[in-house]
């Protein structure tokens, strides 16, 4: 699947079919994870505003800037031995 996407995204980008420029090197993992975490944090916040009875509280979600500076690995638990 991943190998397929590596071929598909540059082709789609060259045909201007993507909403954001992909480029030949793709996006760094820290950027992708940061965007996803920011999106999830906003969705969780909005759920609580729209449905106060379904409010969810989540702590310690790494911020986008911190992911860029420290890398994703700094926020993962070490593998058990």
Instruction: Let me know the angle formed at the C-alpha of 54 by 52 and 56, rounded to the nearest 5 degrees.
Output: 100
Instruction: Let me know the angle formed at the C-alpha of 2 by 60 and 25, rounded to the nearest 5 degrees.
Output: 80
Segment 19-61, tens digit of pLDDT:
666 666 667 888 889 989 999 999 999 999 999 998 999 999 9
Per-residue pLDDT, 24? 65
* Cα–chain center distance at 60: 15
* Cα–chain center distance at 20: 14
């Amino acid at each position: 699947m991943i190998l397929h996407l590596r071929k598909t995204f540059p082709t789609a980008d060259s045909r201007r079919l993507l909403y954001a420029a992909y480029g030949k090197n793709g996006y760094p993992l820290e950027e992708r994870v940061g965007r996803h975490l920011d999106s999830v944090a906003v969705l969780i916040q909005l759920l609580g505003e729209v449905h106060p009875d379904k409010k969810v509280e989540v702590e310690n979600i790494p911020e986008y800037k911190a992911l860029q500076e420290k890398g994703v690995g700094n926020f993962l638990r070490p593998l058990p031995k």
